[in-house]
Structure 1
Amino acid sequence: MGADREGGARRRPVRAAAYAVCGVVLLAGCASMPDNGDLRDVESTPRQDTQVRVFAMPPQQDASSTEIVQGFLEALTSDDPHFDTARKYLTTAAAKTWRAESQATVLANGPSIQTTGRPTDQDDANSITYMLQGSRVATVDAEQAYSPSDGAYRKTVHLTKDGKSRQWRIDSLPQGVVMGKSDFQRNYTSVNKYYFASDTSTEGTGQPVAVADPVFLRSRVDPTTQLVRALLNGPTTWLGPVVRSSFPTGTELKKGVSGLTPDDQNQLTVPLNVKASRIGAAKCTEMATQLLFTLRNLTPTVDSVALRAVNGAHMCDVNEEQAANTAWRASDKRPEYLYLLDSKHRLVRMATDGTVTSPVAVPGPFGAGTRPLGSVAVARDERTAAGVTGDGRSLYVTSLTSDGSLGAAVLTSHGATAADRLTAPSWDARGDLWVADRDPGKPRLYMLAQGVGQPLAVQVPELNGRIQDVRVAADGARIALVVEKDGKQSLLVGRIERTKSDDQQEVSVLELRSATPGSEEVTAMSWAGDSRLVVVGREQGGVQQTRYVQVDGSTPDGPAPAALTGVLAIAASEDDRVPLVADSQDDGIVRLPSGDQWQKVVKDGSAPVYPG
């Protein structure tokens, strides 16, 4: 699943089941399972025809207790909007208290089912308890936020036989749903909601900055309406402290609205409740922009969004061009150049449109080679660059629009070796510059406001290890860090919080979470979408590979980049129309056009980067 995906393409795998009529598949609990306590896996169904929808079968008359449990688990993986069929496997009381939407637990395979082997205090001839077991992969919470998970899953399901009908039904069960990974991939899709960074605007334009908040939706259960409701409900808990929504508190869809679809002009009309009725034109435009950014991530054919008041009155509408003029979003900003260091460690660039096939030196001291560089970062407006010297000791900031002297270093490391000194720098859309000092005696993450002035030490209270690489998200609300601990290098994503105390700015990176669970070594990474990164690394016992990951630790839809050996660095843009670029130990600077193989660009070069 992936909220960032090229061209909006989606794979929608669907399970095979009992029989299909007019593209609808019905599920019946058909796996055998004896009552003697033997373990049997409930197999996740393989992916098949993408056009087939899946509906569950209700319990059969006189079904055994094992068939009831099996049928219930099958029903959880269907496209039943409100799990009404699954509730038919429960007693009336259990059906009223079971909250299917409270959580989805994802297992490596479908849950195994086992009788407990001995009766509980409440078990008798008319009741029985089963154990659901498996290896956890992830959970999706009530906010629809994904979190990687591991360890054993063990939950009990208790059944009772109705005194009148003599039919088995489940009367006690865990809240939420549980399914294998392949069923989860068929049932759910990852989509970005969009909010605005709190108290943040882009350097120069002053536009609010859009921040992606990925969530998982049931992909065949009115996903457009689901997504609009999710956006109106507000950001997830993890992102909430650093973003704002333009929708007034309490804004919801007009009562009874469902089945939202674009009209024949590709405009989606969204009717809202009374909470949104007293807003100004500017606020309404921001609201519509949030919706358009969000909806185009799910349905790229939506060209515009119109908001309607509870009484049906027109509030405002926004098309793609108006949305781009209202808010700044990284994935909409195609960089003008790719930048790299030539064989003499000077900064050179190539146009991303392919009109220039040989790199040329940038204007200013970095292009002139005043100081040999080891790594660089170019500001989002491509007017300023930051560079770390080849020995890793000094950080310089200079103009890319005019010649002039380099000036003094803005930050110096006192580490003993280059590996113990400064990392490559990174810019956000605010114009702030980020870099880490790897000096074992004083390891720090620094931020330089607007790339000048006194470096500010950033607090990272949960950091357990030493930062080896830094890439700040364009939105300035999130940051990706490669952190080394006990010989392992992990990719962590944290939330950036800015506060003021006695006129002094304080910056912290909080709630670090892994974006690459299971990885043993991450050697290079870059942002490759509003909520996606491209990562070079290896899992324990594996070989180096390049793959995409989501900031929440999930795996995006679509294939991984073509294999490439000896990758030293990787560069990507949030705009996925721009090809990946890598520094290969064997082939030099190479790029990967969409759907193609790696192509050589420059034999003698290093440290490729796009702006950011």
Structure 2
Amino acid sequence: MTVRRPESTHAAPEVSVVRKCLEGPSRWLGGALKGRAAVATAAALTLCASGCAALPGGGRVTSVKAPERAEQADESYVRLIPVEPKNDWSPQEIVSGFLAASASFDDDHKVAKEYLANPNAWRPGPRPSIAVFDDRPEPKVFGSGDQLTVRINGTQLGIITTDGQYTAFQKSVQADYQLTRNAQHQWRISALPDALGQTMLLNKNDVDQVFRTFNLYYFAPDKQTLVPNGVFLPLVNREDLPQRLVQAVIAGPTTWLRGAVWSAFPHGTKLVGLSLDKDVATVDLSKEAASGDVEQMSAQLAWSLGQVSEIKQWRLRIEGRGVVTPEGKSEVQTFNDWQANTPDGTVGGEHRAYMIGAAGHLSTLGLNNFLSLPVVTSAPGRMARPAVSPDQHEVAGLSPDGRQLLSSDLNSNGVPRVLRTAKDPEGRFTPPCWDRQGTLWTVETSPGKSMLWKRERGKTLKPVWHWGLDGREIYALQVARDGVRVAVVAKIDGRKQVQVGRIAGSGDRIDAGSFVPVSSELAETDDLSWRDYNTLAVLGRKTPDTQVLPYLMPVDGSAVTSLGVGSLGEPLSIAAIPGGPVLIGTKSSSQHLVCHQSAYRERDSEWACNVAGSDPTYAF
């Protein structure tokens, strides 16, 4: 559908594009339609746009869907076909046309460059830096004669960097475009704004339509567990998508995860080619890859390419060596070959749930019959918010007032040991958590300040070297199962919000920082737990005066969804695990209960609150 240029003195934001919708690898909708056909096409385009990747509510994109569930590459999307500048266009129309044409990534922005007096002076490349505006600004002209200034003023929402990382950064921006009239009396842009440099300016709608979020996968420090690194990629056409994903993962992680993860691809490795025969892809890497670990490179490629549904199997070829086969695998690999590297940790295995039973003792919670059985029978009421170590030999928790961090052998009937008492009279600890390596984590916090503590297996409790939220009050902290990402509930601008950061370094040089907001949909959040590597289960409220309820919050900034239906009383704590039921500790009529969904694999199934006790938790 061609959008006609309006009669006004400057072009509207969408004036210079023909919008087409792609479904699958090669089917297009669109064209110059009239009457009823044009209306039908407009409706189709609206549906297409609904499948596009939306900018997150705040912060950086940190992950998207798992390969076995990834469907982004199959979604229909809007492709922007730019319109060349017309001979009689005014300076305002030239700038508006350039901004609209910039959203088309075809042919290295060939059409957008036609708006420039010197097309070779602007080289955005396939992955330019993008300044994202809330709307396409209205241009205003200053000056007279054959050289003019066209100024735009707008609100920047954030930046997409050249490595695909989105960072929310709202500010007002003024940008001046210098225009000159050429020998044919046509206006062209002679100088781009100094304020933007080589950064491209797109509005939010353009980004939503042109870009998609994909995961690139890199290794945690254990070089076994993969960590998702979500990036924005412009989706020019489906045929190029596999190549672009491989090129992106070879290029390395975004600045947000750099230093916290590791890539198996040796420096200088390049993609020589990628071919697809039916559903089998052949990935050709340059000779530099010969020094890399074939198994680890294969795992990274498998999880990254697993988001492209056309590819079911693939083989790896290295320049000078031919096809290389990972040890114990076939020459033609499948994505299931590398499920052991899941960011969610060990595949399969029994989920072990614990809680504080009705009598005040630490108890197991059967997930088949939801019956509790005490495992620690020392004096009741000594420990709250328990966290059981991965080897299930130790339990950590808090004193009932939250001012002491406690620890006890899981099968001991002795009195819990005090690991630390809060120094500040108003101080307390967040409920402790364990990572997969058996390291214990908690935050000592009071109004306006906090300190992150860790205790490695067999060592003493120590503060971390750098804690990025030391000036914030913290209410909850949970380390992801990949051991690299960490989610917190922190008090920011007077409200409790969810943020995600990353843990880098080792030993005494731990840097836990780079925290960014995940979503702005909830007014406040009280507690959280990792449901899987892409999703947090949280307790929060939509508005300050509404009830606290459970929600699922994707960490890529996608829409928050409610979890379950029915009465929950007063929810106090939440626990989750991949493939298992979400558990909620609640208070109803002065009685503490543990709730679970009657059919937990169905998001909208009813809550059942029939287990007496509190503070449910999982060991993993």
Matched, 1:437 2:463: no
**1:430 match: secondary structure:** coil
Instruction: Tell me which moved more, 75-84 or 511-520.
Output: 511-520
| Match runs of 1:430-579 below 5 Å | 430-438=437-445, 444-450=451-457, 452-462=458-468, 463-484=470-491, 487-499=494-506, 505-516=508-519, 521-537=524-540, 543=546, 554-556=556-558, 559=561, 561=563, 566-573=570-577, 575=578, 577-579=579-581
Given that 1:478 and 1:495 are in contact with CA atoms closer than 8 Å, whether structure 2 keeps it comes out as yes
**2:127 match: secondary structure:** helix
**2:87 match: secondary structure:** coil
Matched, 1:104 2:130: yes
Aligned to 2:186: 167
Given that 1:47 and 1:182 are in contact with CA atoms closer than 8 Å, whether structure 2 keeps it comes out as no
1:248 Cα deviation (Å)? Answer: 0.7
- Structure 2 counterpart of 1:293, one-letter code: W
Aligned to 1:342: 357
Aligned to 2:57: none
Given that 2:136 and 2:203 are in contact with CA atoms closer than 8 Å, whether structure 1 keeps it comes out as yes
Matched, 1:246 2:269: no
**2:170 match: secondary structure:** coil
Matched, 1:77 2:103: yes
1:268 aligned to which of 259, 281, 305: 281
Given that 1:472 and 1:480 are in contact with CA atoms closer than 8 Å, whether structure 2 keeps it comes out as yes
Matched, 1:135 2:155: yes
Matched, 1:180 2:203: yes
CA distance in structure 1 between the aligned counterparts of 2:430 and 2:560, rounded to whole angstroms? 31
1:499 Cα deviation (Å)? Answer: 4.4
Residues 528-565 of structure 1, C-alpha deviation per residue, up to 9 Å, x if partnerless?
333543444457867567655565xx512685546887
Matched, 1:365 2:382: no
**2:188 match: secondary structure:** strand
Given that 1:148 and 1:517 are in contact with CA atoms closer than 8 Å, whether structure 2 keeps it comes out as no
2:322 aligned to which of 313, 319, 344: 313
Given that 2:565 and 2:607 are in contact with CA atoms closer than 8 Å, whether structure 1 keeps it comes out as no
1:464 Cα deviation (Å)? Answer: 1.2
1:142 Cα deviation (Å)? Answer: 0.8
Q: TM-score, normalised by structure 2?
A: 0.76
Q: TM-score, normalised by structure 1?
A: 0.77
CA distance in structure 2 between the aligned counterparts of 1:515 and 1:196, rounded to whole angstroms? 22
1:301 Cα deviation (Å)? Answer: 6.8
Given that 1:161 and 1:169 are in contact with CA atoms closer than 8 Å, whether structure 2 keeps it comes out as yes
- Structure 2 counterpart of 1:582, one-letter code: I
Unmatched tracts of structure 2, length 5 or more: 1-13, 22-26, 34-45, 52-74, 327-332
Q: 1:389 to 1:271 in 2, by over 3 A?
A: same
**2:185 match: secondary structure:** coil
2:601 aligned to which of 580, 593, 603: 593
Matched, 1:23 2:18: no
CA distance in structure 2 between the aligned counterparts of 1:169 and 1:15, rounded to whole angstroms? 17
CA distance in structure 2 between the aligned counterparts of 1:46 and 1:20, rounded to whole angstroms? 9
CA distance in structure 1 between the aligned counterparts of 2:391 and 2:15, rounded to whole angstroms? 47
CA distance in structure 2 between the aligned counterparts of 1:324 and 1:82, rounded to whole angstroms? 37
1:93 Cα deviation (Å)? Answer: 3.6
CA distance in structure 1 between the aligned counterparts of 2:580 and 2:146, rounded to whole angstroms? 64
Identity %: 23
1:374 Cα deviation (Å)? Answer: 1.8
1:425 Cα deviation (Å)? Answer: 0.8
**2:206 match: secondary structure:** helix
1:289 Cα deviation (Å)? Answer: 0.5
Aligned to 2:174: 154
CA distance in structure 1 between the aligned counterparts of 2:157 and 2:373, rounded to whole angstroms? 48
Given that 2:450 and 2:473 are in contact with CA atoms closer than 8 Å, whether structure 1 keeps it comes out as yes
Instruction: Tell me which moved more, 595-604 or 151-160.
Output: 595-604
CA distance in structure 2 between the aligned counterparts of 1:406 and 1:219, rounded to whole angstroms? 60
CA distance in structure 2 between the aligned counterparts of 1:609 and 1:386, rounded to whole angstroms? 11
**2:359 match: secondary structure:** coil
Aligned to 2:220: 197
Residues 560-589 of structure 1, C-alpha deviation per residue, up to 9 Å, x if partnerless?
54688754333333x3x4444434556852
- Structure 2 counterpart of 1:477, one-letter code: V
**1:113 match: secondary structure:** coil
Matched, 1:55 2:80: yes
1:486 Cα deviation (Å)? Answer: 7.0
Aligned to 1:5: none
CA distance in structure 2 between the aligned counterparts of 1:287 and 1:24, rounded to whole angstroms? 38
**2:505 match: secondary structure:** strand
